[in-house]
Structure 1
Amino acid sequence: MKFELGRCLLNERLRECGMTVQDLAHILNYKPEKINDFIENKRIMPLKSAIHIASALSCDVKQLYELI
């Protein structure tokens, strides 16, 4: 089965956790701009980043993007 990535759902996951971009950036030691680039689909999350982000948000990696 082949999946394509759709829209980034990171903003939705952050809201569900009651977390801000700045909170997540602080936890992961990332610049907030990098996270905003993921949210705005300017960058695709590398797998390693997606795993760290999913862990910080207590969600599955597959929940970070729409899968088409």
Structure 2
Amino acid sequence: MNYVIPILTLIAGIAIGFFAGVFYLRKQIEKMQSNPEMLQKMAKQMGYNMNKQQMNKVQQMMKKQKFK
């Protein structure tokens, strides 16, 4: 019995953390769809330098995706 509660708490914490992370990432992606500066910043962090045409293409692609 001494091991059951910590294990259940660990499992619940992992599940809650996972769903909170998914929710946070979805919100960030939704913000990026309408904010090209944020998208440009993310691309630079990944090592890409995108021009305006590439930015428009990425935004169109993201708008077609359903993040729900």
The structure whose RCO (Cα within 8 Å, separation 6+) is larger is 1
Q: Which has the larger radius of gyration?
A: 2
Q: Say yes or no: TM over 0.5.
A: no
TM-score, normalising length from structure 1? 0.29
TM-score, normalising length from structure 2? 0.29
